[in-house]
Structure 1
Amino acid sequence: MATSHSAAPPRRARRMALGAVLLAVALTLAGLAGRWAGDAATAKLREAGAQRLDGYAVSLDNLLSKYEFLPGTLELNKDVIALLQRPDDGTLRNEVNTYLEQLNRRSGATTIYIVNLQGVTQAASNWRAADSFVGDNVAFRPYVRDALRGVPGMFYGVGTTRGEPGYFFAKGIFYEGRMLGVATVKVNIEQLEKGWEPGADQVLLTDAHGVVLLSSVPEWKYRTLAPLTPEVLRELNASRQYFLHALSPLGLRELRRLDDRASIVTLPQDERAPVLSQKRSLAPRLWSFIYLSDLSSARASARNTFAFALLLQALLLMLVLYARQRRRAHSQLEVMVAERTASLQQMTQSLSEEIRVRCKAEEKLRQAQRELVQAGKMAVLGQMAAGITHELNQPLTALRTMSDNARVLIERGRLEDASSNLSTISQLVARMGELTGQLRQFARKADASLTAVPVAAAISAALFLVERRMEQERVSFRMSIREQDVHALCDSNRLEQVLVNLFANALDAMEAMPNSALRELCVNIGSANGRAVITVQDSGPGLPAAVRAHLFEPFFTTKPQGKGLGLGLAISEQIIREFGGELRVEAATPGARFIIELPLAQQGTA
């Protein structure tokens, strides 16, 4: 008896030690499984965040590159050169002010102004405003100092006159090899914030010093990622880059660095909820996009996996204990063993069902994430396509201006200046080629030769591109074909481009009359005098005679600011004219009527 009692405590101690070891192993394995699940969810967030950062970077680059060439075109204006040579000529100053005002309105820039060699503004697009830039001394601004040294200036800063932030492009104005002044264009980049809706994720744009320029959280603007050094503060104060803003630290705290582009940080408003911070550097401006992703889903995935791993190990342990108990069981415990078996089977079934439901939910989550990533890709591609389309309009305008100037310079014998003009034209053409190359895999190149194009098929193809919008805006479509198999001698792609532009303009016109009972787009096909005739008519408010007289002029538009640059109809008229046809507008009741006339062709004509 004494031996039996003395052996019990060591056996109990061994069982307790074994239980402690098994518990530690189970917690360790569950922790590793939870860590793996959390890392996998974080990796998916990083992939989605990286794609968003690429989209934001492309949008910003498209916006800024659209205006980068604009300062260089101002030295081609003879009135600008004359004003810098004769600054006391008040009449000339008014003419330059009016020219800059019109150019600013057409280009969509914030402000355009001319500065002399002393840094004093001689003319500005906002010359009519009470706080006009005319007469201001901006020689302290870095972009002006760079341009006066012959280096193109690029600078982001808050205006000292109006307090409006913007990105500045500056370039020296030269005449006969001598600098006369500086042309400056100010662009508002805050319009990018409109697409950054506040939510669980945030996006920031910072400069080289870590100062927040744009943010989806308004109160974070002009805060800093880290305290600025005294040297940087003195530099910023000297340039007045962030005029009257305190530049206080934002309060982001780094918990763990993943790599050079990603880390786990806490936000100032909630330090208990860490977020994923991803960085995308922007050269050559030394700016950075920072995307902050909510990690609550990743943490939930880690917790769920940890709990599931513990449950699975508990089940395995119970199965092992059950097997041992069964081996030890005696005949009198068979009923109890049967009940225990039924209980374990029920538990196993419940766990299996839970596993099945969880796997199905995770598969749905992965599918939703794949669809969201694909939708994000398509949205970025749409923004790129829209941005590239609008970017082509600005170089085309510059090409026309500089080609006209080159012809004048050649007639005057100024071959060196004309050669410089032609070099700039070549650079613009090369840039346009790079831009259109980005969409090469999404659209086939138009054939330069003219072929017999079935007009009805071209209208159907163009209608397909606006059909969804017509359904949303409840616009009915009616096509009348007076003659079957009408073929026009043209290029099908460019004809469809013209038709899409006319359809979109018609929908825009009818959109301005949301309460109108009649919302109809009508197209008629016929022929007359050896020409194919296409008529496009809408039920919108119509066009006054004064508007119709200027409708095909470049940059003339009746749409609100930001809705268009007024180049669509001008380009369409040029395309039809290249086909040997005519595009004109007529008064109609109701709405407006556009008529396309093209040379008739026999089917199969090359």
Structure 2
Amino acid sequence: MADTASSRPLRRRRVAFLAALLAALLVAVTALTCWGAYRWAEAEARAALTLSGDQRLGLYASSIRNAVGRYDYLPFLVARDHEMLDLLEAPSDSRRDAANRRLETANAVAGSAALYVVDRKGLALAASNWADPAQSFVGQIYDFRPYFRQAVESGSGRYFGIGVTTGLPGYFLSHAVRLGDRLVGVAVVKIDLESLQRDWAAGGERVLVTDENGIVFLSSHADWKYRALRPLPDAVKARLAQTRQYDRSELVPLGLHDGPVMETGARLVSLPVIGMPLIGSLGPARASAAPSPARRAYLMQELALPEFGWTIRLLSDLEPVRAEAAGAAVLTGMGILLLAAAAALGWQRRQTLRLQREARTMLERRVEERTAELLTANRVLREAQEELVQAGKLAALGQMSAALAHEINQPLAAIRTFVASTRLLAERGETAMVRDNLAMIGDLAERMAQLSGHLKEFARKGPARVQAVPVARTMDRALALLAPRLREEEVRVEQAIPPDALVRGDAVRLEQVFVNLLRNAADAMDLCDDRRLTLTAVRNGEGWEIRIGDSGTGIAEAHRLRLFDPFFTTKEVGQGLGLGLSLSYGIVRDFGGTLRAENNPDGGACFVVQLPDAKGGPE
């Protein structure tokens, strides 16, 4: 017994040492696992961020190319205008007046910032802004501008800079004006790219475009404009001062600090927080005393535009990446601790059972040694002893992954219907109607191919093929696709669309909008007794207002603000992905129109499509 009593402190010390060792091991394993989970989640989040950034960079590049491509024909046409040639050949007040008015009209129609012509010495003879004495280019000399020199030397030029006359930035396209082989002047168009920056800023993006010298001249944040990514050499500063490309801008460094380059080509960088003063802008006397500005880390991705000599850079905030990685690390740590707690409880359970077995054995031995009478009592105790039961519950968190698949488009259903009817007609020998059905099937298949092409184009934000589209005929084609369903559900169609209603758009994509809106209207009337579609088109000051109304349940106030968000739907699971209204909204916006939803005073919903009149401008 003495040996047993003396061994207890030693056993306790061993247990304590083992517990401390296991605790240290648990801390080390948890730390390493959390670190690994953090790095893995961070890498995955960065990869997703990089992929999204690459796609957005492609969209920004397309928007810049489209913005410039709309006007690259203008200098060529101006250079061949007979009134410009007469003015450059023999300047006079009457010819200058005629040229000014012609340039003013052309600039207003094209929507460019300015149009003007200069003689071979760089003197502006006529300009679209001739009527504004404070802004007029007429009489100004631009021989120092690179776009003038490029046109003189190679026949054309392009150049971004701040206007020395107006003080407004713009992109200049120039073309040499020749009479035979003789250079008589240069035609120039100035393009305003400020709308691109406003769109970027409105979208909450961090985008900047730099020239070949690394100077930011387009940006979603005004504080970044006309700053250099890195300090400029003296030779570059002197050349910029000579050409006055950025006029009186100081071109101080942006404060960009480069970090490591990722495997994807993206780079980790940091910038001063917007609104904080940059050291380079404080002056030499105060720079040393100024505190270091707060900085923020970004993932910077680049895309070169070689035709312009520019580079687009997208800065993606890394705080969400870090937060996601930290969340993954915390969840991993909690999982390990839960597992460790479950293991500790199991170990404690086994220890309790072992001690109970030892105590029972010792008691039995003592009872056998002292008295045989206690054997009966011992058996009663063993029979009466309750068995110890303990249950453990483990909770596992699972994640569902769902694949997105677009709804089968309506022309396919129409083709199936025509195929079924064609079989019946063929059995009856009605060849003429069979040919008509086959022609319609071919037409639907062709329009399906066109629709797929338009969907891809829309995904790229590319420019739509705008032309005059008759609203009534397009609506009839959309109704034809939905005719079987409308007949089956006894939907009454009340249509009042004038035959002369012509809008600017694309027939196939506008038909897709009508089909989406009509299907949504039919879905909204599914449980209604009176099913009625009201289709109207009315001319107003902005073009044509097309209204698609139904007699359904209307739009809930809580859903109106999210109605056009991607993947938002009020339908049951499996009945739609919530992409139809979002796609329709983007298509109408590409045509220069608007799409909105409202409730009818007498019940039901109404979707209003506003599109420009095709008769009000060139197709």
**TM-score above 0.5, yes or no:** yes
> Which of 99, 115, 125 is the aligned partner of 1:112?
115
Deviations 1:295-342 (A, max 9, x none): 332222211111111122222223333343333333666999969x55
Supply the distance in 2 between the matched residues of 1:256 and 1:103 (Cα, whole angstroms): 50
Supply the distance in 2 between the matched residues of 1:200 and 1:338 (Cα, whole angstroms): 63
RMSD over equivalenced CA pairs, Å:
4.3
Deviations 1:500-549 (A, max 9, x none): 9xxxx976625589xxxxx8889xxxxxxxxxxxxxxxxxxxxxxxxxxx
Paired residue for 1:319?
342
> Which of 79, 84, 88 is the aligned partner of 2:88?
84
Supply the distance in 2 between the matched residues of 1:289 and 1:325 (Cα, whole angstroms): 62
Q: Is 1:330 matched with 2:347?
A: no
> Which of 199, 205, 212 is the aligned partner of 1:208?
212
Paired residue for 1:405?
none
Q: Is the 8 A contact 1:55 1:380 kept in 2?
A: no
Paired residue for 1:578?
none
> Which of 496, 499, 505 is the aligned partner of 1:479?
496
Supply the distance in 2 between the matched residues of 1:379 and 1:193 (Cα, whole angstroms): 23
> Which of 461, 472, 492 is the aligned partner of 2:477?
461
Supply the distance in 2 between the matched residues of 1:185 and 1:22 (Cα, whole angstroms): 71
Supply the distance in 2 between the matched residues of 1:238 and 1:99 (Cα, whole angstroms): 32
Pairing of 1:344-383 with structure 2 (within 5 A): 345=393, 348-349=394-395, 352=396, 355-356=397-398, 359=399, 381=459, 383=461
Q: Is the 8 A contact 1:172 1:183 kept in 2?
A: yes
Q: Structure 1 counterpart of 2:83, which letter?
A: D
Q: Is 1:285 matched with 2:289?
A: no
Paired residue for 2:171?
167
Supply the distance in 2 between the matched residues of 1:520 and 1:75 (Cα, whole angstroms): 43
Unaligned runs of 5+ in 2: 275-293, 358-384, 406-454, 482-492, 500-505, 515-535, 549-592, 594-609
Q: Is the 8 A contact 2:75 2:188 kept in 1?
A: yes
Closer, same or farther: CA 458–257 of 1 in aligned 2, 3 Å: closer
Q: Give the drift of 1:32.
A: 0.7
Taking only the aligned residue pairs, the percentage that are identical comes to 30
Q: Structure 2 counterpart of 1:126, which letter?
A: N
Name which of structure 1's ranges 191-200 and 101-110 shifts more when overlaid on structure 2.
Answer: 191-200
| SS at 1:251 equivalent | coil
| SS at 1:149 equivalent | helix
Q: Give the drift of 1:22.
A: 3.7
Q: Is 1:155 matched with 2:159?
A: yes
Paired residue for 1:130?
133
Paired residue for 1:276?
299
| SS at 1:330 equivalent | helix
Q: Structure 2 counterpart of 1:479, which letter?
A: A
| SS at 1:134 equivalent | coil
Q: Is the 8 A contact 2:542 2:613 kept in 1?
A: no
| SS at 1:182 equivalent | strand
Q: Is 1:186 matched with 2:154?
A: no
Q: Is 1:230 matched with 2:234?
A: yes
Deviations 1:4-33 (A, max 9, x none): 978987886566455434422221112111
Supply the distance in 2 between the matched residues of 1:84 and 1:205 (Cα, whole angstroms): 36
Q: Is the 8 A contact 1:262 1:276 kept in 2?
A: yes
Supply the distance in 2 between the matched residues of 1:122 and 1:337 (Cα, whole angstroms): 108
Paired residue for 2:100?
97
Larger radius of gyration: 2
Q: Structure 2 counterpart of 1:24, which letter?
A: A
Q: Give the drift of 1:41.
A: 1.6
Deviations 1:447-469 (A, max 9, x none): xxxxxx9x97555237999xxxx
> Which of 14, 27, 30 is the aligned partner of 1:23?
27
> Which of 52, 55, 76 is the aligned partner of 1:72?
76
Q: Is 1:42 matched with 2:42?
A: no
Q: Is the 8 A contact 1:85 1:180 kept in 2?
A: yes
| SS at 1:169 equivalent | strand
Q: Is the 8 A contact 1:201 1:294 kept in 2?
A: no
Name which of structure 1's ranges 143-152 and 270-279 shifts more when overlaid on structure 2.
Answer: 270-279
Q: Is 1:218 matched with 2:222?
A: yes
Pairing of 1:444-523 with structure 2 (within 5 A): 458-461=474-477, 478-479=495-496, 509-511=540-542
Supply the distance in 2 between the matched residues of 1:192 and 1:337 (Cα, whole angstroms): 78
> Which of 284, 294, 297 is the aligned partner of 2:317?
294
Closer, same or farther: CA 231–256 of 1 in aligned 2, 3 Å: same
Supply the distance in 2 between the matched residues of 1:114 and 1:481 (Cα, whole angstroms): 46
Supply the distance in 1 between the matched residues of 2:178 and 2:613 (Cα, whole angstroms): 31
Supply the distance in 1 between the matched residues of 2:233 and 2:223 (Cα, whole angstroms): 22
Deviations 1:389-412 (A, max 9, x none): 49xx9xxxxxxxxxxxxxxxxxxx
Deviations 1:42-61 (A, max 9, x none): 21122122111111110110
Q: Normalized against structure 1, the TM-score is what? A: 0.60
Q: Is the 8 A contact 1:251 1:267 kept in 2?
A: yes
Q: Structure 1 counterpart of 2:81, which letter?
A: N
Supply the distance in 2 between the matched residues of 1:172 and 1:565 (Cα, whole angstroms): 36
Supply the distance in 1 between the matched residues of 2:203 and 2:196 (Cα, whole angstroms): 16
Closer, same or farther: CA 336–248 of 1 in aligned 2, 3 Å: farther
| SS at 1:205 equivalent | strand
Supply the distance in 1 between the matched residues of 2:386 and 2:164 (Cα, whole angstroms): 87
Q: Is the 8 A contact 2:88 2:119 kept in 1?
A: yes
| SS at 1:309 equivalent | helix
| SS at 1:385 equivalent | coil
Supply the distance in 2 between the matched residues of 1:460 and 1:217 (Cα, whole angstroms): 47
| SS at 2:171 equivalent | strand
Q: Is the 8 A contact 1:198 1:217 kept in 2?
A: no
Q: Give the drift of 1:221.
A: 1.6
Supply the distance in 1 between the matched residues of 2:209 and 2:41 (Cα, whole angstroms): 31
| SS at 2:304 equivalent | strand
Supply the distance in 1 between the matched residues of 2:302 and 2:254 (Cα, whole angstroms): 16
> Which of 223, 240, 247 is the aligned partner of 1:243?
247
Closer, same or farther: CA 259–568 of 1 in aligned 2, 3 Å: farther
Q: Give the drift of 1:214.
A: 1.8
**Alignment coverage as a number of residue pairs:** 418
Paired residue for 1:385?
463
Paired residue for 1:307?
330
Supply the distance in 2 between the matched residues of 1:188 and 1:14 (Cα, whole angstroms): 75
Closer, same or farther: CA 61–30 of 1 in aligned 2, 3 Å: same
Closer, same or farther: CA 456–238 of 1 in aligned 2, 3 Å: closer
Q: Is the 8 A contact 2:79 2:175 kept in 1?
A: no
Q: Give the drift of 1:272.
A: 5.8
Q: Give the drift of 1:176.
A: 1.1
> Which of 196, 199, 206 is the aligned partner of 2:200?
196
Deviations 1:469-513 (A, max 9, x none): xxxxxxx9843899xxxxxxxxx969x99xx9xxxx976625589
Supply the distance in 1 between the matched residues of 2:354 and 2:611 (Cα, whole angstroms): 90
Q: Normalized against structure 2, the TM-score is what? A: 0.59
Paired residue for 1:254?
258
Closer, same or farther: CA 251–102 of 1 in aligned 2, 3 Å: same
Q: Give the drift of 1:151.
A: 3.9
Unaligned runs of 5+ in 1: 369-376, 394-445, 447-452, 466-475, 483-491, 514-518, 523-558, 573-606
Closer, same or farther: CA 160–510 of 1 in aligned 2, 3 Å: closer
Q: Is the 8 A contact 1:264 1:274 kept in 2?
A: yes
Q: Give the drift of 1:101.
A: 0.9
Supply the distance in 2 between the matched residues of 1:337 and 1:285 (Cα, whole angstroms): 84
Supply the distance in 2 between the matched residues of 1:79 and 1:136 (Cα, whole angstroms): 20
Which one has more relative contact order, counting CA pairs under 8 Å at least 6 apart? 1
